[in-house]
Amino acid sequence: MIGALLGLIAMVAAVNMFVNPYGAWRLGSFDPIYRRITLERLAIPYLLRVARPHTILIGSSRVILGMRIEQGERDGVLNAALSGAKLEEIARIVELACSNRELRRVIWGVEFFAFNGSDDSRPDPNTMERMETPWKTIVGDTLVNSDALDRSRDLYRRYRLGLSRLPAESTEPVPWTDGFIGMKIRVLEHQARPLDEAVDLRGARQFQAWYGGYRLSQAEIVRFREIVERIRSANLELLLFVPPSSEYELEIIRQSGLWQQFQAWKAAIAEINPFWDFGGFNTLARTNRLFIDVMHFRPELGFSIMRKLEGRDCDRCGALAEEAVAQALYFDRSSAARNLAEQDLRMAVSERTDTIYARVAREVIAEQRGPRRIAD
């Protein structure tokens, strides 16, 4: 019986190594186009050591979903973002990525919530262990694992069905072409349901969890500077951006008394490295069709942003995407004060209107004192 069990384990390990569903091994038995990465905190630490991209994307789940690469890496671009990424985790990702001699560019969606000094900023120990000592975890994660076997079956099924059966998003070049973005935008304009028709209180509650006791950490700003300097020392191009925010998030920030800290954070980032700011009170924050939910923007917007960051045109992206991207403000040392003053003005104008966003924020913040129904 023991021999049969060992034989079964060996067979599972052999199948998982041969199919390689997480891209953790240097094997090419199946075209990685059929791979589907969903457990990014398991897969990315291993993929970082195997893939040889020219561009790496880092940030939070907004980058995962907003610049979605189903296989994790495609066309020389690796999406190494992690849900709720801490700066220490990003620092380790950068360190691993810098060992890749083919890497030329880092695109980073930098998040206000990651600089919280009152939060537990310690990284996830399992993720860090996978990045620092992968030999301790890789066998259990990727070979002798029933979940890995399920993903091997899924990859093989997709392979048998062929390229023609994969979603177009799975094979479109990274970043998406402007023509493909334009086509997807036209579909969104006719089919997507605006967020304010189905208010997502759960997402707003996540914002409250981030910002309820927020305190901008100078130590995290110092750590951010160290990461930026490490990227520069590797002679890599760094493209920073502040991801788009729905007005639900902005209202949580404003009504929690954090607006000045939010602005101080942007000023501090601009002192360290220039960036494009897609956040703030603007029409993009209310363009609900460009958001999956109150937290995450759609890849139609994300790849439009990526094209802008890389200096590519977006002539056929469609008016909705073009207008949204055009609202971004470029921050550097010389423009920061002017941009912050403009954003303060936009916030003050918005503050005078009782919107659905403001009402949801009040509801979520008031939950600490007991539930209260949102006004119609």
Q: What is the pLDDT of residue 374?
A: 40
C-alpha–C-alpha distance, residues 79 and 72, integer Å: 6
**Quick one: pLDDT at residue 6?**
61
Residue 256 lies in a domain: yes
What is the structure's pLDDT at 4?
62
When divided into structural domains, the chain yields a total of 1
Residue 239: in which H helix or E strand, if any? strand 237-242
In a domain, 197, yes or no: yes
Q: Is residue 60 in some structural domain?
A: no
- Residue keyed to tokens 């402007």: 178
Instruction: Supply angle C-alpha 368, 373, 376, rounded to 5.
Output: 140
Can you give the pTM of this predicted structure?
0.94
**Per-residue pLDDT for the chain (376 aa), expressed as one digit of tens each?**
676 656 667 888 989 999 999 999 988 788 999 999 999 999 999 999 999 999 999 999 999 999 999 999 999 999 999 999 999 999 999 999 999 999 999 999 999 999 998 766 789 999 999 999 999 999 999 998 889 999 999 999 999 999 999 999 999 999 999 999 999 999 988 775 666 545 567 778 888 888 888 999 999 999 999 999 999 999 999 999 999 999 999 999 999 999 999 999 999 999 999 999 999 999 999 888 899 988 999 999 999 999 999 999 999 999 999 999 999 999 999 999 999 999 999 999 988 888 888 988 898 888 865 544 443 3
Spatial distance between the Cα atoms of 98 and 227, rounded to a whole number of angstroms: 11
pLDDT at 188: 87
Q: What is the DSSP letter of 59?
A: S
- Give the per-residue pLDDT at 107: 98
Q: Note whether residue 92 is domain-resident.
A: no
Q: How many other C-beta atoms are found inside a 10 Å radius of the C-beta of residue 375?
A: 9
> Phi/psi class of residue 27: alpha, beta or left (left: φ > 0; alpha: ψ in -120 to 50)?
beta
The 3-state DSSP class for residue 360 equals helix
Q: Which domain holds residue 189?
A: 175-376
- Tokens 């997709």 locate to 158
What is the DSSP-derived secondary structure letter of residue 212?
A: T
CA 339/CA 28 separation, integer angstroms: 49
Residue 262 lies in a domain: yes
**Backbone phi and psi for residue 352, each to the nearest 5 degrees, phi listed first:** -80, -5
Q: Is residue 117 part of a domain?
A: no
Query: Rounded to the nearest 5°, which phi and psi values hold at 242?
Result: -95, 120
Contact indicator for 16, 145 with CB cutoff of 8 Å: yes
Q: Is residue 193 part of a domain?
A: yes
Cβ contact 35:21 at 8 Å: yes
Distance of alpha carbon 99 from alpha carbon 163, whole angstroms: 32
Residue 83 forms part of a structural domain: no
